[in-house]
Amino acid sequence: MHHRIFYTLFCSLLLFTGIRTLGQQQKRVTGNFEGYTFPRLAGRLESLTGYHFYYDPKDVDSLSIDITANNATISQMLDHIFQNTDFHYAIDSTGHIFITRRVAILTTLPLQLGGATRLPDTIKNVLPDEQDQPDRSRLKKLLVENQLLDIGNKASRSGAKATIAGYVRNDKTGEPIVGANLYADTATLAVSTDQFGYYSLTLPKGRHVIRISYAGMKDTRRQIVLYSDGKLDVDMQDAVTTLKTVIVSAAKTSNTQSLQTGVNRLNVRQIKQVPVVFGETDVIKVVLTLPGVSSVGEASNGLNVRGGSTDQNLILFDDATIYNPSHLFGFFSAFNPDVVKGIQLYKSAIPAKYGGRLSSVLDVSMLDGNSKKWSGVAGIGPVTSKFMLEAPLQKNKTSVVAAARTTYSNWLLNEIPNSAYSNSKANFYDVNLRITHVIDAKNSLYVMGYLSSDWFNLDNDTTYRYMNKNVNVKWKHIFNNKSNALFSAGYDRYQYSVTDPHDSVNAFKMGFDINQSWFRAEFNYVPNNKHTISYGATAIYYTLHPGYYSPDGSESKVVNTVVAAEQGLESALYLDDQYTISSKFSIDGGLRYSMFNYLGPHAIYNYVPGLPRQISTITDTTVYNKGKIIKTYGAPEIRLSGRYTLSESSSFKFSFNTLQQYIHMLSNTVAISPTDIWKLSDPHIKPQQGEQVSLGFYQNFKANTIETSVEVYYRWISNYLDYKSGAQLTLNPHIETDILTTKGKAYGVEFLLKKAAGRLNGWLSYTWSRTFLKQDDPLAGQLINNGKYYPASFDKPHNINFIGNFRFTHRYSVSTNITYSTGRPITLPLAVFTLGGSPGLYYSQRNQYRIPDYFRTDVSVIIDGNHRVNQPTHNFWTFGVYNLTARKNPYSVYFVQENGQVKGYQLSIFGTAIPFVTYTIKF
């Protein structure tokens, strides 16, 4: 049927233009076109001759060109290329070249023009049926692509160039498409849409062909005549691909053509293919399969990126800061996958607009909502259920996304024979809301709200609760086609509490919270295609309550203890310019100046100069009033990256970053824990500082369907906090006496192989990395490992991940996840000694040993419902097994004294295979 549509379109064009072969009147071409793809050849010939090609990209994706032309006509070249193939072409009198496949081309009109001539049956028979929606959709697409659009005012005479701008959206839902690539005439004139689907492109006035592409969407093009500045919005259609062309990757050339190193992008389709425990799609678990990313163990949602600690990652959910991204002991992430549009992980080359963390930025974007019709998703699994609804409150103007997810995991705990678990309870829920409102052509408003809550009770004993609360509002304003701005303001809160009311005499409540109010102003200016300038300012006001311990009930004898609150203001200015020096070489240079003010009211302990900070060396206390600046830190941060293109499919990239971090996490665990607390930099605790240099080589193969990359990096870290032996981290009003500062170094190499098309697709990543720390605090009072470098707790030299997806048919597919990593470092007791009649343990140097290596295999099978176009719902089942080999992977090793002997034990989170099944319905 799809071949008949080309025939129909072609016949229609015959009726209006009249077709004749230009023969000897054609312009002649000289050049070497060996190794070209057909789209590249078409673009090259269009620039050389002024002709314009019309074709379906899917038909020509297998064509490879191997031709050298010497004063040849277009017809001679196409005759040679299409020799012994089923391709046909026709050239009209105005320079349009039409390429079709397996359909003979008519070169003369079959009927007379004028009068009431009826359409011949041979032509009527190829028209698609009303019910034939795929063909009609394709015909609509082709008609739009072949329409010549006038942009701007024809009477304009100012300047030789003009700028077009607009939004790229999903044709079916109206959802903005982030990261869509727009190419004008040649690949050297290219831009990408921003987080709102907006683009700006400056071109010479005149006629152009703009090609638009994005993963999972049908490539499209627009034919324009540019007279002056104007607007061009583009709607893209979902790609209903054949099995041969299943696409699961980002834009085909972004791997080699983007400026940034150490950046990984995943869309929701990729995320949902990876099998995870209990069948619940997990953003964090998928991120852990990327090169350079690891965790300290199973059921840990903390990320260790390129040798950084978990608190050195800035985790943003629709611009809201998430301090604890985990649910249910770390088994699930805090992000409902049904509202996630995609993720971007910056491991080096961090854009200048981001700051405040040393290792990475994980930016999770949220759906804007369907602005055209009501739709939704509902799902049920072994321990969770979820529901998501998106709808237009006002069609094409106001849309809303609302989602909720909860768990009923208590039944699973009750099935465990051990009473310590069967008497326990664990629950969580999260709620998402986003409203998008288009005020007018130049103004849009976005409102986001997020709430998550966890609570668990172990063996009817202590109850733990923790919550994330986030809300923000954003206003996007377009000044003109070259300049726009985004103003954002929000409030983020993370809190936890611990209660134990069972013993009325010792009943207590304990808790901590961190609050931040923030404002950002971001401006973007595109003076031309060589420069993309961004600049702006950010401000974050922190309020921390480091902890309280109070009686729970009138009978409790617990003494009320409250650690004084902390306040701080972090602010920054930044400027960034992406500059295209030539078609091969581009750079991105940015400068960010950040400053931190530690504010009163607060009391600061003073210590004897030159002596270790201990309680015994406290001399007095200085009290500062509310709003008083106690201590100020500030430093410039450099962001520099570049790309040198070797060919359309290969490039070298480099980057150099310097970063500051003014907030620290204090934890007695190596993973993120609900009882972790955060601490602001103050007169005794300096900001963390980091520098990173990285270099990468990127190569694509087989028409950009296979991506490969290798990156090396080296990081320097200073003022990272470690702890003295026996440190008290909670409810400590002089925490500086129990911590010490270190300097560190991290280095490694990362490999990535990704296959983006075909029945078998996925990626393989390997990382070799090392992270070492060294005490760098003359006032600490004790030496760790005699002042020598020692491995960090998250140092894991080898990390391998394989994600594979095989699609048997459109309905049946199987996915697997295989992961291996070196065991993390631990400190072990080496001997038992007796002192004063009491036994004691003699420990090794810090992190001298390791727990056993980690290995796990997961597999899942997805069964889709039918793929009929006109049906109210679409459903699918997912069956799978987590930890297929039932390997008892150790999370930690610990030692206890039993009957005078020291015995060691190994703790495994999942010591067996975990089967799962989930059901999801879309409507």
Write down the pLDDT at residue 682. 95
Residue 871, Cβ density class (10 Å: 0-12 exposed, 13-18 middle, ≥19 buried)? exposed
Q: How far is CA 427 from CA 51, 404, 466, in A?
A: 64, 14, 11
Could you please report the per-residue DSSP string of 159-190? -SEEEEEEEEEETTT--B-TT-EEEESEEEEE
Write down the pLDDT at residue 172. 85
Q: For residue 495, what are the contacts with CB-CB under 8 A and spacing of at least 6?
A: 466, 467, 469, 511, 512, 513, 514
Q: What is the pLDDT of residues 842-855, one digit of tens each?
A: 778 888 888 889 89
Instruction: Please identify, in words, the CATH class of the domain defined by 1-128.
Output: alpha beta
pLDDT at 402 over 90: yes
Band of residue 421 on the pLDDT scale cut at 50, 70, 90: low
Q: What is the pLDDT of residues 779-822, one digit of tens each?
A: 776 778 888 899 988 899 999 999 988 888 878 889 899 999 99
687/629 Cα distance (integer angstroms): 16
Stated as kind and residue range, the H or E segment containing 579 is: strand 566-580
Average pLDDT of every residue of the chain: 82
Where does residue 735 fall: left (phi above 0), alpha (psi -120 to 50 degrees), or beta otherwise? alpha
Write down the pLDDT at residue 920. 82
pLDDT at 25 over 60: no
SS3 per residue for 256-301? HHCCCCCEEEEEHHHHHHCCCHHHCCCHHHHHCCCCCEECCCCCCC
Measured at the CA of 653, the angle between CA 650 and CA 659, to 5 degrees, comes to 155
pLDDT at 151 over 60: yes
Tell me: domain 263-922, CATH 2.40.170.20, correct?
yes
Could you please report the per-residue DSSP string of 863-883? EE----SS-S-EEEEEEEEES
Give 311's DSSP letter: G
Write down the pLDDT at residue 760. 86
pLDDT at 477 over 90: yes
Entry pTM: 0.81
| Least reliable range by pLDDT among 630-639, 674-683, 747-756, 897-906 | 897-906
Can you read off the two tokens belonging to residue 271? 């995320």
The answer to whether 69 touches 30, Cβ cutoff 8 Å, is yes
SS3 content of the chain, % helix, strand, coil (to 5): 10, 55, 35
Write down the pLDDT at residue 749. 96
Write down the pLDDT at residue 23. 39
The answer to whether 839 touches 901, Cβ cutoff 8 Å, is no
Q: Which of 221, 329, 317 is nearest to 278 (CA)?
A: 329
Residues β-bridged to residue 880: 860, 916
- Calculate the dihedral angle through the C-alpha atoms of 220, 160, 486, 445, rounding to the nearest 10 degrees: -60
Measured at the CA of 717, the angle between CA 713 and CA 722, to 5 degrees, comes to 130
pLDDT at 7 over 50: no
Measured at the CA of 361, the angle between CA 357 and CA 365, to 5 degrees, comes to 140
Write down the pLDDT at residue 188. 57
Band of residue 277 on the pLDDT scale cut at 50, 70, 90: low
Can you read off the two tokens belonging to residue 518? 């923030």
Write down the pLDDT at residue 135. 53
pLDDT at 362 over 90: yes
The answer to whether 466 touches 494, Cβ cutoff 8 Å, is yes
Write down the pLDDT at residue 140. 62
Share of the chain above pLDDT 70, in %: 83
Write down the pLDDT at residue 887. 87
Residue 782, Cβ density class (10 Å: 0-12 exposed, 13-18 middle, ≥19 buried)? exposed
Instruction: Determine if the peptide bond prior to 601 is cis (ω within 30°).
Output: yes
Can you read off the two tokens belonging to residue 570? 């972090």
Q: What is the mean pLDDT of residues 172-182?
A: 86
Write down the pLDDT at residue 900. 64
Q: Which CATH fold topology does 147-240 show?
A: Immunoglobulin-like (2.60.40)
Q: How large is the angle between the packed helices 38-49 and 74-81, nearest 10 degrees?
A: 170
221/54 Cα distance (integer angstroms): 10
CB count within 10 Å of CB 806 equals: 14
Q: What is the mean pLDDT of residues 78-99?
A: 81
Pairing state of beta strands 234-236 and 263-267?
unpaired
301/291 Cα distance (integer angstroms): 16
> Which of 27-31, 116-120, 140-144, 444-448 reaches the highest mean pLDDT?
444-448
Q: What is the pLDDT of residues 189-229, one digit of tens each?
A: 678 888 888 998 888 888 888 888 887 788 888 888 889 99
Stated as kind and residue range, the H or E segment containing 759 is: none
Q: For residue 524, what are the contacts with CB-CB under 8 A and spacing of at least 6?
A: 194, 483, 484, 485, 532, 533, 534
pLDDT at 12 over 60: no
pLDDT at 778 over 90: no
| Least reliable range by pLDDT among 69-83, 338-352, 775-789, 900-914 | 900-914
Can you read off the two tokens belonging to residue 441? 């052509």
Q: What is the mean pLDDT of residues 160-187?
A: 84
Selected residue with higher pLDDT from 519 and 29:
519
Can you read off the two tokens belonging to residue 107? 């070169």
Q: For residue 323, what are the contacts with CB-CB under 8 A and spacing of at least 6?
A: 315, 468, 492, 494, 514, 678
48/27 Cα distance (integer angstroms): 9
Tell me the three state secondary structure of residue 52: strand
pLDDT at 572 over 80: yes
Q: What is the pLDDT of residues 684-727, one digit of tens each?
A: 999 999 999 999 999 988 777 788 999 999 999 999 988 877 77
Selected residue with higher pLDDT from 129 and 389:
389
pLDDT at 335 over 50: yes
The answer to whether 738 touches 718, Cβ cutoff 8 Å, is no
Q: How large is the angle between the packed helices 133-145 and 2-17, nearest 10 degrees?
A: 40
Tell me the three state secondary structure of residue 47: helix
Write down the pLDDT at residue 892. 67
| Least reliable range by pLDDT among 68-72, 490-494, 693-697, 763-767 | 68-72
Write down the pLDDT at residue 867. 59
Q: What is the pLDDT of residues 500-539, one digit of tens each?
A: 887 788 888 889 999 999 999 999 998 888 889 999 999 9
Q: Where do the structural domains in the chain lie, given as residue ranges?
A: 1-128, 147-240, 263-922
Write down the pLDDT at residue 761. 84
Q: What is the mean pLDDT of residues 628-640?
A: 96
Can you read off the two tokens belonging to residue 474? 């954003």
The answer to whether 399 touches 392, Cβ cutoff 8 Å, is yes
Write down the pLDDT at residue 17. 42
Selected residue with higher pLDDT from 270 and 608:
608
